[in-house]
Structure 1
Amino acid sequence: MTASEPEEGRGADSEGERSAPPSGLPESGGWRENNTGLTRAYLLAQRAARALVRGVHTNWRRSLHLRVISTTLVLSLLVMAGLGYVLISEVRSGLLDAKTNAAVNDHRAGLSYALAELQENEIGDRNRLLNNVASELTSRSGDTGLYSVFILPSVSDELGWATGEGSVPPRLVEQVRQSEVFDQQYHTYTRIDMEDGSVEPALVVGAQINQAYELYYIFPLQHEQEILDLVQGTVALVAVLLVILLGLIAFMITRQVVTPVRSAAQSAERLAAGDLTERMTVQGEDDLARLAMSFNDMAGNLQEKIQELEELSKLQRQFVSDVSHELRTPLTTIRMAGDLLFDDREELDVSHRRSVELLQSQVERFEELLADLLEISRHDAGAATLGIESADIRDSVMKAVGDAEQIAERRGIKVILRLPADPVVAEFDTRRINRILRNLVVNAIEHSEGRDVVVAAAGDRDAVAVAVRDYGVGLKEGEEHLCFDRFWRADYSRVRTTGGTGLGLSIAKEDATLHGGWLQAWGLPGQGSQFRLSLPRQSGAELRGSPLPLVPPEIALGRNYPPFGDKDGANGTEDVRAPDRGRFGPDEEEAL
């Protein structure tokens, strides 16, 4: 029992020690709070530092005024620092040279006096004589104590005499004792400890009096140090004032130059934004005034040219619209006559029947061309309107594919649909969207080179999209934008088999833009092409992304799947699904 009690007591004591925190230290929770506060403070300081560096960097890149002033100040500081260093070095060298010459002359006079006294009184009391010599030489320094006198023996059994503060550096003593000429003078710089605890620079001059004694003078350099400090302070003050003055001068000069340049930049921005009446103010006859006059002349000529082009464009649009309307009446008459002949073609001979059939097909194509020209003229005049209604994009896809079904069957091409199971409802003009999709499907069939065409649709919370993919000749680099130009053809040597007008994709692009959507193209030679139509779910909403990728997934993944219906490939087909990449922006093809 007695042995176990101390163990229990020690255990209790240790538990008590662990449970009670040391005095003066916070609890663990307090440490956590302190660490959390320090971490937050560090993060805030880091963010502030990054924001400051980012702001300085941005202002440095954007502000010519700041760069000129900063460069002027930095160069001025460097020049002032160099000039100040040279000036202070010259002053310091001049002060020390003057002090050294005066010290050497004083020491030379004292050395001659001490040598003469020793030669005249060789028999008398040597110690008393040296004491008198030291006192006499010290009195010559005046009441201000220009120097201290030290007479040191050259042999160890003799005594030395010293007046004043300081000590002779051992290196100078060694140098004097090794001299072969008695009156050869040596000097060096040292520091002496004063009675008040301060340290002052000093000059020490020494030489041998005879074989037994050496004479040293210690000259304090406090006066020279004060002069040098005054010169340094004056140079620093003048340098700071000059730098500030140069900064102000640079500010004023660069402001006179930068202000007109900024005004010219602002005028150019307003001119580029469409304000053709923008002009610069001309002041004086200098280079900046000539710049303003040249800018105004350029703006005036540009305004005239643009007005001329606008008038010409209006005339062209008016001409197309008038001609299209005027041609509809005779075309209607021709169409009526052609319909009569086409209905009775069976009663005609073979050559006349063929002519009637050609007449009927060309009249239909002429009607399509007139309809497209009228639609283009509406878009150019800004008169195109939308008949918005809520509809399922799948229905528009099915209608477009149904309209092109006969063309696909004649060419032996299958149109494969990949439509979502749930409705994909959006607000759009069904007539215009049906026309866009029909045009895309027909173009894909036309350029598929006998391979199948894939039409996919998808939707998300904010947008719907339809992609039409073919595996034909594809598009060359840059043609993904040219294909939407009016009357553009990828290959003029190709024979047109579907009777298009060359305006279909241009009208489709205008219709998509009218909806606030995108119509984009992708293609590679030999890999086919894909056109993607993206529309916002709600009419008037901003389209920020598309639920379908513009670049086909097999191309984006670096794979080469056999195209559907490829006569040279395998007969089987594989359903290639797009990887889950979220929403796709208008320019994601450039990043792939």
Structure 2
Amino acid sequence: MLHLRPRGSHWLPEPVRRALTFWRRSIQARVVVSTVLLSIAVITVVGWYLLQQVQDGLLDHRVAAVVAESNDETAEARDRLEAASGTDADVASQKLDLVDPIVQAGETRGFSVVLAGPTGGNGRIADGGVNSTPQLDTGSVPASLEEHFDEEASTAWTYTTIRTTDDDGVTTTSPGIVVGSQVLLPADAQTYTLYYLFPLDEQEETMALVTRALLTAAVLLIVLVAGMTWLVTRQVVTPIRMARRVAERLAAGQLQERLRVSGEDDLARLATSFNQMASNLQRQIRQLEELSRVQRRFVSDVSHELRTPLTTVRMASDVLHDARADFDPTTARAAELLQTELDRFETLLADLLEISRFDAGAAVLELDDINLVDVAHRIVDATRPLARQRNVEVVVRAPEHPCLAEADVRRVERVVRNLVTNAIDHTGTERSGGDIVVLVEGDDHAAAIAVRDYGIGLAPGEAAMVFNRFWRADPARARTSGGTGLGLSISLEDTHLHGGWLQAWGRPGEGAQFRLTLPRRAGGVLRHSPLPLVPSDVTEPVT
């Protein structure tokens, strides 16, 4: 089985759909969120830069201080060694005399010391024989710095991690700086290296304090930016929302609605212009309504008033038509033409009355469940004599099962009759493409009837004009079916009254197809038609 993924966002959870809907509809929310995101990005970049500058400044200052302190301690150690060089020749004792004062100074001033050497031999810390501050892990001295002092070298420093172990065996680590300096031990005349390890705990605490301060300031700044943005956009969006609500009321027919004008700024001038536009529209709409009412009244009155003289003329015409056998050929032909034109005049009056009812909004539906297949067959049977006069055959292609729709059968039959007679009227006496075909199809939501002819067709753009009142593609072409020029217009109004579609397709030389689509149930919303608008026997050009 083929499983199709739901289209659109219907598969999303309800809260997510509501959030997306709010995001699409609220310009204020989009402006606030966009401003906050941009502010977060700017604050992040600026904060990171400030932290880097503070950190670099603290470390540079600390490095300069520890290097100076290390040089001072080394200078004092050299002085002590020079003073004791003539009295003590024991290497181990002299190394203790060298380291112990530094260790004691480091305990009071917060640094540790490691004595390693001699250089040029097995003088690495890992080889043993080093003196250092108690509880200090001598592995805190980086191997890269030891390699630097394998030979005699000047003072050097690097960052490291200082590890210490307390009396309970708990090891703690902290960032630090290690500075290396070399001294000459008089007892064996060899060079040893003093490694001074200074912790960066104070700098780390300072950075933590600065980081917390920046984060707090950033959060407060973002909240303030969001609040200010919301207030500023509210001042702009609120008049726009009011204008939208007023425009919706105007569109709903409440033409007296106006915007409240306060101040003299751009929004106030916009509200003034909007109110002037609404006033002009109200005045013009009322003028058009009055003109339309007068036109409808005129058409209705003329149609009704013409019925009485038309009845008298009809009676006289019937007498003349019945006695035409006694007339000479010219008079008899005149009697026949009079009868034909009176029939057309009566049809025109009926159509005008129907149009006036549509214009006045007085047309109503008499709904019932109808079978469009039966409607198609009845109309084809009724128009068959006219089709034979044009040497045209009208055929019905419909499913065997009923195609039901809730509609007004009289109006639907009138629409289908107009479509079929229009197809007959525009089909030549010598068929070039085939018979007129009436197609019927339906599904669970809609039912449709399409009338396909192979006549003169429609030029580009005429499919949208064919439903205009009294419009004709070729004014010189005679109406063989006696039409009034209002049939398709009335058909379109009947279709709209049902909530359906009436559409046309045509191409010069390839005929035309008119499609009527109705919802299966009254009040239903159409989303598709069971029949295609473009006939299946036509190949659309590739664009």
TM, length-normalised to structure 1: 0.75
Distance across 2 between alignment mates of 1:350 and 1:317: 43
Residue 187 (structure 2) aligns with: none
What amino acid is aligned across from residue 325 of structure 1 in structure 2? Answer: H
Distance across 2 between alignment mates of 1:389 and 1:84: 74
Given candidates 143, 156, 176, the residue that maps to 1:186 is 156
In the alignment, is residue 214 of structure 1 matched against residue 193 of structure 2?
yes
In the alignment, is residue 372 of structure 1 matched against residue 351 of structure 2?
yes
Q: How many residues align?
A: 508
Given candidates 521, 531, 535, the residue that maps to 2:514 is 531
Distance across 2 between alignment mates of 1:381 and 1:61: 40
Contact 1:388 1:428 survives alignment (8 Å): yes
Distance across 1 between alignment mates of 2:447 and 2:270: 51
SS in 2 for 1:212: strand
Deviation at 1:276, TM superposition (A): 2.0
Residue 451 (structure 2) aligns with: 468
In the alignment, is residue 308 of structure 1 matched against residue 292 of structure 2?
no
Deviation at 1:197, TM superposition (A): 0.9
The change in CA–CA distance for 1:423 and 1:207 in structure 2 (over 3 A counts) is closer
Deviation at 1:430, TM superposition (A): 5.3
Residue 200 (structure 1) aligns with: 174
Contact 1:455 1:467 survives alignment (8 Å): yes
Distance across 2 between alignment mates of 1:139 and 1:492: 119
What amino acid is aligned across from residue 536 of structure 2 in structure 1? Answer: E
SS in 2 for 1:198: strand
Given candidates 30, 34, 37, the residue that maps to 1:74 is 37
In the alignment, is residue 267 of structure 1 matched against residue 246 of structure 2?
yes
Contact 2:119 2:149 survives alignment (8 Å): no
The change in CA–CA distance for 1:548 and 1:82 in structure 2 (over 3 A counts) is closer
Residue 577 (structure 1) aligns with: none
Deviation at 1:470, TM superposition (A): 1.7
Distance across 2 between alignment mates of 1:537 and 1:155: 102
Deviation at 1:348, TM superposition (A): 4.3
Distance across 2 between alignment mates of 1:340 and 1:351: 17
Deviation at 1:172, TM superposition (A): 1.7
In the alignment, is residue 497 of structure 1 matched against residue 480 of structure 2?
yes
In the alignment, is residue 174 of structure 1 matched against residue 144 of structure 2?
no
Contact 1:404 1:442 survives alignment (8 Å): yes
Deviation at 1:199, TM superposition (A): 0.6
For residues 517-564 of structure 1, what are the alpha-carbon distances to aligned partners after superposition, in whole Å with 9 as ceiling and x for unaligned? Answer: 5544343443323334455677x56475899625476348x69xxxxx
Deviation at 1:190, TM superposition (A): 0.9
SS in 2 for 1:404: helix
Distance across 2 between alignment mates of 1:212 and 1:475: 108
Distance across 1 between alignment mates of 2:448 and 2:486: 22
Contact 1:465 1:546 survives alignment (8 Å): no
Residue 143 (structure 1) aligns with: 108
Distance across 1 between alignment mates of 2:195 and 2:500: 100
Residue 5 (structure 2) aligns with: none
The change in CA–CA distance for 1:99 and 1:515 in structure 2 (over 3 A counts) is closer
Deviation at 1:334, TM superposition (A): 3.6
Deviation at 1:384, TM superposition (A): 3.3
Range that drifts further, 224-233 or 55-64:
55-64
Residue 554 (structure 1) aligns with: 536
In the alignment, is residue 486 of structure 1 matched against residue 486 of structure 2?
no
For residues 176-232 of structure 1, what are the alpha-carbon distances to aligned partners after superposition, in whole Å with 9 as ceiling and x for unaligned? Answer: 34446xxx3211111111113111112111222235223332212222222222222
Distance across 1 between alignment mates of 2:459 and 2:507: 6
For residues 376-397 of structure 1, what are the alpha-carbon distances to aligned partners after superposition, in whole Å with 9 as ceiling and x for unaligned? Answer: 1122123335566777766655
Distance across 1 between alignment mates of 2:157 and 2:447: 96
Distance across 2 between alignment mates of 1:111 and 1:391: 112
Contact 1:153 1:160 survives alignment (8 Å): no
The change in CA–CA distance for 1:197 and 1:320 in structure 2 (over 3 A counts) is same
Contact 1:346 1:353 survives alignment (8 Å): yes
Distance across 2 between alignment mates of 1:398 and 1:188: 101
SS in 2 for 1:275: coil
Provide structure 2 residue ranges, at least 5 long, that are not aligned to the other structure.
Answer: 1-9, 124-128, 185-189
Range that drifts further, 305-314 or 278-287:
278-287
Distance across 2 between alignment mates of 1:411 and 1:419: 24
The change in CA–CA distance for 1:402 and 1:91 in structure 2 (over 3 A counts) is closer
Distance across 2 between alignment mates of 1:89 and 1:421: 83
Residue 123 (structure 1) aligns with: 86
The change in CA–CA distance for 1:320 and 1:201 in structure 2 (over 3 A counts) is same
What amino acid is aligned across from residue 160 of structure 2 in structure 1? Answer: T
Distance across 1 between alignment mates of 2:359 and 2:150: 109
Residue 126 (structure 2) aligns with: none
Provide structure 1 residue ranges, at least 5 long, that are not aligned to the other structure.
Answer: 1-46, 560-592
Given candidates 131, 134, 140, the residue that maps to 2:99 is 134
Contact 2:259 2:275 survives alignment (8 Å): yes
In the alignment, is residue 92 of structure 1 matched against residue 55 of structure 2?
yes
The change in CA–CA distance for 1:156 and 1:475 in structure 2 (over 3 A counts) is same
Distance across 2 between alignment mates of 1:280 and 1:253: 21
For residues 397-448 of structure 1, what are the alpha-carbon distances to aligned partners after superposition, in whole Å with 9 as ceiling and x for unaligned? Answer: 5554454333223222222245677887877655544433332222111112
Deviation at 1:299, TM superposition (A): 1.6
Contact 1:530 1:550 survives alignment (8 Å): no
Identity among equivalent positions (%) equals 46
In the alignment, is residue 242 of structure 1 matched against residue 221 of structure 2?
yes
Range that drifts further, 302-311 or 260-269:
260-269
Contact 1:150 1:216 survives alignment (8 Å): yes
Distance across 2 between alignment mates of 1:394 and 1:172: 99
Contact 1:531 1:550 survives alignment (8 Å): no
Distance across 2 between alignment mates of 1:459 and 1:102: 92
Residue 28 (structure 1) aligns with: none
The change in CA–CA distance for 1:513 and 1:177 in structure 2 (over 3 A counts) is closer
Distance across 1 between alignment mates of 2:408 and 2:304: 24
Residue 453 (structure 1) aligns with: 436
Distance across 2 between alignment mates of 1:162 and 1:301: 97
Contact 1:425 1:537 survives alignment (8 Å): yes
The change in CA–CA distance for 1:240 and 1:156 in structure 2 (over 3 A counts) is same
Distance across 2 between alignment mates of 1:465 and 1:49: 34
The change in CA–CA distance for 1:322 and 1:176 in structure 2 (over 3 A counts) is same
Contact 1:467 1:532 survives alignment (8 Å): yes
What amino acid is aligned across from residue 549 of structure 1 in structure 2? Answer: L
Range that drifts further, 232-241 or 526-535:
526-535
Range that drifts further, 309-318 or 248-257:
248-257
Residue 163 (structure 1) aligns with: 133
Given candidates 274, 297, 301, the residue that maps to 1:322 is 301
Deviation at 1:143, TM superposition (A): 2.2
What amino acid is aligned across from residue 201 of structure 1 in structure 2? Answer: P
SS in 1 for 2:115: strand
Residue 361 (structure 1) aligns with: 340
Contact 1:317 1:377 survives alignment (8 Å): yes
Distance across 2 between alignment mates of 1:446 and 1:377: 26
Contact 1:177 1:208 survives alignment (8 Å): no
Range that drifts further, 401-410 or 295-304:
401-410
Contact 2:500 2:526 survives alignment (8 Å): no
Residue 584 (structure 1) aligns with: none
TM, length-normalised to structure 2: 0.81
Residue 585 (structure 1) aligns with: none
The change in CA–CA distance for 1:97 and 1:545 in structure 2 (over 3 A counts) is closer
What amino acid is aligned across from residue 283 of structure 1 in structure 2? Answer: S
The change in CA–CA distance for 1:65 and 1:521 in structure 2 (over 3 A counts) is same
